[in-house]
Structure formats: structure tokens, C-alpha cells
Structure 1
Amino acid sequence: MNLFTSLRYLAALHQHKHFGRAAAACHITQPAFSNAIRALEEEFGTAIVKRGRAFESFTPEGERIFISAQRMLHEQELLLQDLSSKADQPVGALTLGAVPSVMPIAARFAGHLQARHPGLSLIVRSMSSPDIENGLENLSIDLGLGYTDRLKSRAAKLVTVNQYTERYFLLRRAAQPTPAGLHIADQPMRWQDTAGLPLCLLTPEMHNRTIVDATFKQLGLRIQPVIETNSILTLGLTVLVGDVCSILPGALVAVLRGYAELEAVPLVEPDVLTPIGFMWAGSDRPSNAMRSALRMADDPQWLTHVMAHVGLLQSGVEA
């Protein structure tokens, strides 16, 4: 079997943490996938995977092999892109990881980038902040979009480019539906006034929830949501059909603009402003796809588009 194919199987296993799902992602049967991993173990003379009744984890040696495999696959992709691309016509793959709360912006970025450069093949993954940061460091993803302020505490340095500042809104059912769709309230609400409302919030491991909890803690308040979820879609739908409210960043509020039954209220006191940006592992040899993505991330036309879709929907909430 081709070595690069086997290494891609190893990368898929690292991503999916499950033999069956990894095999399906590679479009082969699970027995064939397992045999390929065993062949790699024989090739390197060491166990790569801790096996129980199901996949447990990589062995320490397996982690080292995976890191080397990612470097080899990365170098192969760089070479393939160099051989295939022409001036201003990049060809190749780019994997973008984004935290759930910014997925609407990540989707827009991918769509615009692929339209500008049809030779690019893009993968957009919803990932937690730690998984994005680790993925950038081990080269399993190329570009991240998320909370850049988290990186101050990390030893490994990632390069960032700011995109916008995230602001927060209380999402609730409107007293009266408006023909124009979701209504942005003229008067803001204080964070402390939301503490007694029945809230649907993200689960505690999500960084967005960490921001919300930290804001209430700053005010000396502790909240207990009536619904918790790791699904961004659930946040909006529970408000739409239930008797709960939610706290959402502006990019998600913008996605819900078509729902006349909903109202978003800007939250103040304090003004919680969270920088959102692209991040990547600095390299003096970025791929053609990466160079194209970074150029667009700095493009004034793209940045204008971003500001129109991050919830800054009234002049009272300034960019």
C-alpha cells in the first residue's frame, strides 16, 4: 500500500477516534482500515494504537508517529500545490477549523474564498477552541477562526489576524412579530437583569459559555440555565418554540434575522467585547491555498462583508 495513503488513514483515525468512522471517512471497509494500521505498526515495529473493545487512544509512540505523519502529509500537500498551481490560480486543499459560535462567518469565508479561487478544495470543521489550537500545532488543520485572546496563555505561538469584535445579545420572543424579521431592541439590557430569566446556554466546556459565566461572576451572580446544549442551532430554536431566552453572539443573531417572532436585545453593563480572528502556525513556506486565504482575510471588501453579518444591525451598536 502507498505510504501516504496509510498515513492518511492514521490521520483519519486521530480525527475520528473510532475505527468505523475513520474507515467510512476514507471510503474503505473497517477490516481493510484496521489491516492498514496494523501494517504501519509492523513497519515501525511498535504499537500505534491502544486497543480495547474499541479505540482508546494512540500509544506514546503512536503520537510521535502521527506528528511525523502530519508533517509528511503537509509537505506532500505543499509540493502538490506548487506543481499544480499557476499565478493567481491556486490549486489544493485547505482545512479551516472554527468554533461553533463563528461558524456562520467561517461558512461565508469558505464560500467567498472558493468562488474567488475555484481550484481550492475546502474543508470547514466545527471545533472547540482547544482542538483548533492543537490542530494548528500538529498540522491537522491549516487555519483556525476563533477566540484570539485565548492564545495569550499558550506557550506555542500562533499568528493571528483580527476579523471583528464579538458582542452579545439576549435573544427572546418578540411581543409582536415584525414584518421585517428579527427585531433589534432600541434599548439595551443590563447583564444582571437577564440572570433571573429562564436561559438556554451552551454547555460549560464551550468557550462561549465560559465568557458568559465569567461576565455573571464579575457581577457577583451565578446562573443556572434551564437548558444546556452543545448545539448552536438548539440555542435559537428553543427560544423560537419554547418559553426560554438565550444569550448569543452577534454572528448567530445575524443568522436568525428572518424570524419575525424573535427579538435581540444588546447587552451592556458590562460591555463584553471579545476579539475574533484567524490563527495559524507561522511558517516561511505557507501553501498557495493558505496564502490565498490570508490575502482574503485582510481584504477590505471581505472585512466589510464580515461587519454586515456579525449582529451590528443598528446604528446604536457601533462597529
Structure 2
Amino acid sequence: MTLTELRYLLALAEEKHFGKAADRCHVSQPTLSVAIRKLEQRLDVQIFERGRSMVMITPIGELLIAQAKKVIEQADRLEMLARNTGDDLSGTLKLGAIYTVAPYLFPQLIPQLRRVVPEMMLEIEENYTARLRERLRNGQIDVAIIALPFTETDVLTKAVYKEDFEVLLPANHELAGQDSVSADQLNDTNLLLLGEGHCFRDQILQACPTIAQATRDPHGKVKTMADGSSLETIRHMVASGLGVTILPRSALIHTPYSKEFLTSRPFVNDPPQRTVAMAWRASFPRPKAIDALETAIKACKL
């Protein structure tokens, strides 16, 4: 078997679709299909169940795919050693971050890393926690920036910072006259929240039970935004006067709006907060790159 065949195997395992896996590998679908079939014949096992519109991994296939990931990771390590003479800080680091962290972390993180380790370039992406988990597991990214809790087999995590949540308001909103705001008060406003799939939304609902209850009221004022919405989209809606929202502190440091349009208030007493962490595979062979990334993140003003 070849590394190319193993890469085809991993692509199909993730995409669960021959056409999409072939596109990802930049080959024709028949080429990928034949390679997978030959691999199964060579190993004398069925790795995938093939249906009319779906592909499923067999139990033995799960074991083989897990081993293939390790083989590919070690092969990539060999290439890195050849290119960089084993220098952990040279070459590209593939970094993913959740949607509610990336826009506020990356503009500070990238300059920090360029100053400290200019030879280490970042290949970055934004995604949902579930998608980053999958891409980390499959070796498509090296490190994920996520919010705790986050558990995954053979993956290490390390907290890098904590941040409180605050309420973002139109400057002329009645709650703007208070020094702080309670979660209960938000139930009587047009509260705008991200849609399902965003861990930030889940953290708000977990920390604020009354808001969670209000989301289940079909006649309530809590509004869930459409898929594809971002914190920045919601910020613009608040600025236009459509309601209020809750943001992490890092999203309030730099804002495109003056105090004439928007203001923020902390929560009363114990504010909801999140812990942002790095996650990486235990087998990832560049520990110094992880250390450099941690140092750079902690140097950011978040």
C-alpha cells in the first residue's frame, strides 16, 4: 500500500462521499474508487459500506483508519525533518479557531508570532467546535482554539485565557443607564443570540437558565439568528436598534462603532464567562510550536 492510498482512505472517511473525497484529493472519482477497492482487496477486509447515497465505515474500518492517521502523521513528520532539520518552529502550523474567538484573537496573535517566531507561518481557519474536533482528529489542522469543556481521545488541552461575557446595548437603551445588568432583565428585551451549533450560545444558556427558558417560549423576545450569522452581524443589528446581545469581553476591545451608537454593561455579581484553550493531538511532533503559540496567545490583550 502507498501513502497516497492512505490519504484517499482518510479523505473518504471524513467526507463520507466518493465525489467530495476525490475533489479534496484532486483526482477523479474513478481513480479514488479503484484505489480504495484495491486497498480493501489487499487487506482482505471491507473498510466501507457503500450505499446509493451514503458511505459508512465498518467496525474494522474504524480501526484501520485510526492506524492510517498515525502512519500519515509520522510520514508528515519525516517530511518536516527533511525540510527543517527537526526545527519545531520552522514551517507551517495549521491552526483552527471557533467562530467567536478567531476574529478577535487572530489580529493580535499573528503579529505576536511574527515577532517571536517569524519562521513559523500560520495556515488558519474558522469553524464550529464539532468541525474543528473532526479536522483535528483527522490531522487536517494541528491545533484548535476552542472553549472548554472539550474532550477527545488522544487530544491534549491547555487553558490560555478566561473572559467574562458582557451585555451590548444601543447607547440610548434604557438598560444603558444602569451600572450592570442581570440576566433576568434581558428576558424583557429583544435579545439576539447566535444559532444552534455555536458553543458560545450554549455557554450563555448554561450560565443563564432564565434566558435558556425564554428561548423555549414561542412568544418570547429572545431571537435566534439565522444560520451563518456571526457576532459581528449581531453587533451591527444592535447598533441599528433591533435589540441587545451578549458578547465575550474580547469582542468589546475593538469595535467599529463609537459610544454614540453602542455601549456595554457587565453582568450583576458573578458574570458568565468562558475558558479558551488550545487543543492538539497527543502525538503531534512539534512541542516547541505549541509552547510558542501559547506564549503568543497569552501576550495578546484579550
TM-score (structure 2 length as normaliser): 0.78
Q: The residue matched to 2:46 in structure 1 has which SS?
A: coil
**For residue 164 of structure 1, what is the amino acid of its counterpart?**
Y
Identity level (%): 24
Could you tell me whether the CA contact under 8 Å between 1:48 and 1:58 is conserved in 2?
A: yes
Q: 1:304 aligns with which of 288, 299, 302?
A: 299
Supply the distance in 1 between the matched residues of 2:134 and 2:180 (Cα, whole angstroms): 38
Could you tell me whether the CA contact under 8 Å between 1:6 and 1:36 is conserved in 2?
A: yes
* CA deviation vs aligned residue, 1:110-139 (integer Å, no higher than 9, x gap): 565467555545443434434545655565
Mapping 1:205-244, distance limit 5 Å: 205-217=197-209, 222-224=213-215, 225-230=222-227, 231-232=229-230, 233-241=232-240, 243-244=242-243
Comparing 75-84 with 203-212, greater Cα deviation is found at: 203-212
Supply the distance in 2 between the matched residues of 1:128 and 1:254 (Cα, whole angstroms): 23
Comparing 161-170 with 241-250, greater Cα deviation is found at: 241-250
Supply the distance in 1 between the matched residues of 2:13 and 2:251 (Cα, whole angstroms): 30
Match of 2:6 in 1: 7
Q: The residue matched to 1:96 in structure 2 has which SS?
A: strand
Match of 2:244 in 1: 245
After TM superposition, give the deviation of residue 73 of structure 1 in Å. Answer: 0.9
Instruction: Indicate how the Cα distance of structure 1 residues 195 and 274 shifts in structure 2: closer, same or farther if over 3 A, else same.
Output: same
Mapping 1:40-119, distance limit 5 Å: 40-86=39-85, 90-105=89-104, 107-108=106-107, 109=109, 112-113=112-113, 117=117
Could you tell me whether the CA contact under 8 Å between 1:19 and 1:34 is conserved in 2?
A: yes
Q: The residue matched to 2:7 in structure 1 has which SS?
A: helix
Supply the distance in 1 between the matched residues of 2:68 and 2:214 (Cα, whole angstroms): 45
Q: 1:175 aligns with which of 146, 152, 172?
A: 172
Q: 1:294 aligns with which of 291, 294, 298?
A: 291
- Root-mean-square deviation over aligned CA pairs: 3.4
Runs of 4+ more than 6 Å apart:
none
* CA deviation vs aligned residue, 1:196-230 (integer Å, no higher than 9, x gap): 2222212334322221112221x586122323345
Instruction: Indicate how the Cα distance of structure 1 residues 105 and 282 shifts in structure 2: closer, same or farther if over 3 A, else same.
Output: farther
TM-score (structure 1 length as normaliser): 0.74
Match of 1:180 in 2: none
Supply the distance in 1 between the matched residues of 2:111 and 2:58 (Cα, whole angstroms): 38
Supply the distance in 1 between the matched residues of 2:277 and 2:269 (Cα, whole angstroms): 24
After TM superposition, give the deviation of residue 271 of structure 1 in Å. Answer: 1.3
**For residue 166 of structure 2, what is the amino acid of its counterpart?**
F
Supply the distance in 2 between the matched residues of 1:270 and 1:138 (Cα, whole angstroms): 38
Q: 1:259 aligns with which of 239, 245, 257?
A: 257
Q: The residue matched to 2:42 in structure 1 has which SS?
A: helix
**For residue 222 of structure 1, what is the amino acid of its counterpart?**
Q
After TM superposition, give the deviation of residue 234 of structure 1 in Å. Answer: 3.7
Instruction: Indicate how the Cα distance of structure 1 residues 25 and 138 shifts in structure 2: closer, same or farther if over 3 A, else same.
Output: closer
Supply the distance in 2 between the matched residues of 1:188 and 1:277 (Cα, whole angstroms): 28
Instruction: Indicate how the Cα distance of structure 1 residues 171 and 67 shifts in structure 2: closer, same or farther if over 3 A, else same.
Output: same
* CA deviation vs aligned residue, 1:214-263 (integer Å, no higher than 9, x gap): 2221x5861223233453254334434561322221233345x1133433
**Gaps (5+ residues) in structure 2?**
216-221
Instruction: Indicate how the Cα distance of structure 1 residues 17 and 228 shifts in structure 2: closer, same or farther if over 3 A, else same.
Output: farther
* CA deviation vs aligned residue, 1:277-319 (integer Å, no higher than 9, x gap): 2122334xx434x5224223125xx5232x2xx3xxxxxxxxx
**Gaps (5+ residues) in structure 1?**
177-183, 311-319
Q: The residue matched to 1:28 in structure 2 has which SS?
A: coil
Count of residues in correspondence between the two structures: 289
Supply the distance in 1 between the matched residues of 2:155 and 2:3 (Cα, whole angstroms): 27
Supply the distance in 1 between the matched residues of 2:163 and 2:203 (Cα, whole angstroms): 11
* CA deviation vs aligned residue, 1:173-198 (integer Å, no higher than 9, x gap): 3339xxxxxxx998332222112222
